[in-house]
A and B are shown apart, each in its own frame.
Chain A
Amino acid sequence: MKEISELYLPDDVRYAETHEWVKIDDEMVRIGISDYAQDQLGDIVFVELPKVGDTFATGEEFGTVESVKAVSELYIPVGGEVLSINTDLDDAPELVNQDPYHDGWLIEIKPDDLLEVENRMTKEDYMEILEGEE
């Protein structure tokens, strides 16, 4: 597994304590899991995502990600309505391992409150959390 210094943690996304990332894109936000999360899980074999139109409050479970050694719940970092899901993951769940911030994104939502994104952690805060978990 990667050392913290080896993790790729971009500056332009915010992070949740449950290891999802969230990124503003105009009026909507895109959500995925962090490099740390994919690295901890190992080879991802299946991603279970919600339906377009489902709504979730912040912190609610919106799906699961299954690797060869565990199944983990996904918690939504910002509440809202699901606008689209990454259907490429049906046939290629490994995209989450290979490219967690771009091709391996999970869902796009219309947030209830766009400003809530600012309440999630910056890269620096997230790294502090990770160091605590080591």
Chain B
Amino acid sequence: MRYLPHTDEDISAMLTSSGVKSLDDLFTSIPRDCRRTGDLKLPKPLTEWELTARIDALSREVASSPEYKIFIGAGSYDHFIPESLSYLLSRSEFVTSYTPYQPEISQGTLQAIYEYQTLTARLLGMEVANASLYDGASALAEAILMSLRITRRNRVALSRLIHPLYRSVVETYLKPTGYEIIELPYLTDGTTDLSSIDDMDDLAAIALQSPNFFGSIEHLRSAAEKAHEKGGLFITSFTEPIAYGLLKNPGVLGADIACGEGQSLGISRSFGGPGLGMLAGKMKYVRNMPGRLVGKTEDSEGKRGFVLTLATREQHIRREKATSNICTNNSLCALAAAMYMASIGGTGIRELAQINYDKSEYLKRELTRTGHRIAFQSPTFNEFVVQFPPHSKHKYDSLIEKKIVAGLPVDRWYPELSDHYLLCCTETMTKDDIDLLVREVNS
């Protein structure tokens, strides 16, 4: 697609053709006092040279890997991305194609989405996955809305160990609607305390994240049983899908809906976005799923073809009666995830998960050996919380000077956990990197 600005001749030709005198005449239907007068307060335009220099200066202000050794995950994970992905994704057939509104003409796009759905459903152990949503946080909010629609109840129970920013997005979705969110506290072992559920009625769903924000692996099966006893649904959220290469997947453990962030699957961290909202569920709830779904069928001559199924429930057709407000999917990111899953395969994802687990266990052991306290004793996957000595902030800052980011302080969201840091270690960290961190922390 070319971006050619309109010339004065273009504009005057269009004005003549549409029969108005000036551009301002096109806005007369907007009341005068609602229109902006004067220019926007923007800095003056820059030349290309100046702009490049400015952006370079900005990028030097942020710590990014591999220059910095960043031991932070917390919802965004540093994973190796095969070069084949970058090449394939940059092909114009994928990069420039937009959501097809006459979808069946774009068989390639539909097939790519179909394969993403298939691989996602397999990874999560669910019966059906949608074509993707924006990110893990909105996927969780949509999963909760789904449970409210299905059960026609008004109350959901959310673990306090779901990513704090996800919970904040859920609150934004639910606050104006009168639905009630109950927060489930956590136990000293770093998993969710489910005991209060016994006294709760009318629950549409219980939602847990596993591995949770502290990196701990939750007891999904018992949470699922409790949710089902109460006649509600069980939702499993996740920020690190690589974990399911090693752990039992949400479907096996009784989840009705599994949803989360797919950034780990071949998408660069890019300082926070774009992400990939993954959402999968049981087949019996498919008509309450948000977004779109691609299906496989046969044409009148018996040839295989892909179709946009359930599209009639989307917003561009049903308007305010649509299943959800979501009317799009992150196709390119979903495609990256499909390519990634297909590239490394079932065995690859198991090995990769094992490497993540082993490296983070090594870091955990080394920290314990050198006298640091691991805050929670539950098994973890590739991140965990460590309690550094009091007033460790100074030390933390001095390590950043040395281009080491020693985890994420969690007291911003958990004020009771001062001097607690969430550390992550993926396959991109070498033994030397880990040893360096431990040495520096103890120096």
Chain A residues packing against B (C-beta within 8 Å):
46, 48, 66-71, 73
13 further interface pairs, Cβ-Cβ under 8 Å (given A66-B312, A68-B312, A73-B321) = A46-B287, A48-B287, A66-B287, A66-B313, A67-B312, A69-B312, A70-B312, A70-B317, A71-B312, A71-B313, A71-B317, A71-B318, A71-B321
Q: How far is the CB of B52 from chain A (nearest CB, A)?
A: 51
Instruction: Give the 5 A-B CB pairs with smallest separation, nearest first.
Output: A71-B312, A70-B312, A71-B313, A71-B318, A66-B312
Interface residues of B in 262-319 (CB under 8 A from A): 287, 312-313, 317-318
Chain B positions within 8 Å of A67 at CB level: 312
Chain A positions within 8 Å of B312 at CB level: 66-71
Chain A positions within 8 Å of B321 at CB level: 71, 73
Q: How many positions in chain B have a CB within 8 Å of any CB in the partner chain?
A: 6
Chain A positions within 8 Å of B317 at CB level: 70-71
Chain A positions within 8 Å of B313 at CB level: 66, 71
Chain B residues packing against A (C-beta within 8 Å):
287, 312-313, 317-318, 321
Chain B positions within 8 Å of A68 at CB level: 312
Q: How far is the CB of B245 from chain A (nearest CB, A)?
A: 36
**Complex Cα–Cα for A67 and B321 (A):** 15
Interface of chain B: mostly helix, strand, loop or mixed? helix
**Complex Cα–Cα for A70 and B313 (A):** 8
Chain A positions within 8 Å of B318 at CB level: 71
Chain B positions within 8 Å of A48 at CB level: 287
**Complex Cα–Cα for A71 and B321 (A):** 9
Residue of A nearest to B310 (CB): A66
Q: How far is the CB of B308 from chain A (nearest CB, A)?
A: 11
Q: How far is the CB of B327 from chain A (nearest CB, A)?
A: 14
Q: Which of A66, A69, A70, A71 has the most CB of B within 10 A?
A: A71
**Complex Cα–Cα for A67 and B317 (A):** 12
**Complex Cα–Cα for A68 and B321 (A):** 17
**Complex Cα–Cα for A96 and B321 (A):** 22
A-B contacts, 16 of them at CB < 8 A, read A46-B287, A48-B287, A66-B287, A66-B312, A66-B313, A67-B312, A68-B312, A69-B312, A70-B312, A70-B317, A71-B312, A71-B313, A71-B317, A71-B318, A71-B321, A73-B321
**Complex Cα–Cα for A85 and B93 (A):** 48
Q: How far is the CB of A45 from chain B (nearest CB, A)?
A: 9
Chain B positions within 8 Å of A73 at CB level: 321
**Complex Cα–Cα for A48 and B312 (A):** 14
Q: How far is the CB of A56 from chain B (nearest CB, A)?
A: 15
Q: How far is the CB of A89 from chain B (nearest CB, A)?
A: 14
Chain A positions within 8 Å of B287 at CB level: 46, 48, 66
Q: How far is the CB of B158 from chain A (nearest CB, A)?
A: 28
**Complex Cα–Cα for A70 and B314 (A):** 10
Chain B positions within 8 Å of A69 at CB level: 312
**Complex Cα–Cα for A69 and B312 (A):** 6
Chain B positions within 8 Å of A71 at CB level: 312-313, 317-318, 321
**Complex Cα–Cα for A67 and B313 (A):** 10
Q: How far is the CB of B102 from chain A (nearest CB, A)?
A: 13
Residue of A nearest to B312 (CB): A71
**Complex Cα–Cα for A68 and B287 (A):** 14
**Complex Cα–Cα for A69 and B307 (A):** 13
**Complex Cα–Cα for A67 and B309 (A):** 11
**Complex Cα–Cα for A68 and B313 (A):** 10
Q: How far is the CB of B320 from chain A (nearest CB, A)?
A: 12
**Complex Cα–Cα for A71 and B317 (A):** 9
Residue of B nearest to A73 (CB): B321
**Complex Cα–Cα for A122 and B343 (A):** 65
**Complex Cα–Cα for A70 and B312 (A):** 5
**Complex Cα–Cα for A67 and B318 (A):** 12
**Complex Cα–Cα for A71 and B311 (A):** 10
Q: How far is the CB of A35 from chain B (nearest CB, A)?
A: 21
Q: Which of B287, B312, B313, B321 has the most CB of A within 10 A?
A: B312
Q: How far is the CB of B317 from chain A (nearest CB, A)?
A: 7
Q: How far is the CB of B323 from chain A (nearest CB, A)?
A: 9
Residue of B nearest to A61 (CB): B321
Q: How far is the CB of A64 from chain B (nearest CB, A)?
A: 9
Q: How far is the CB of B152 from chain A (nearest CB, A)?
A: 10
Residue of A nearest to B309 (CB): A45
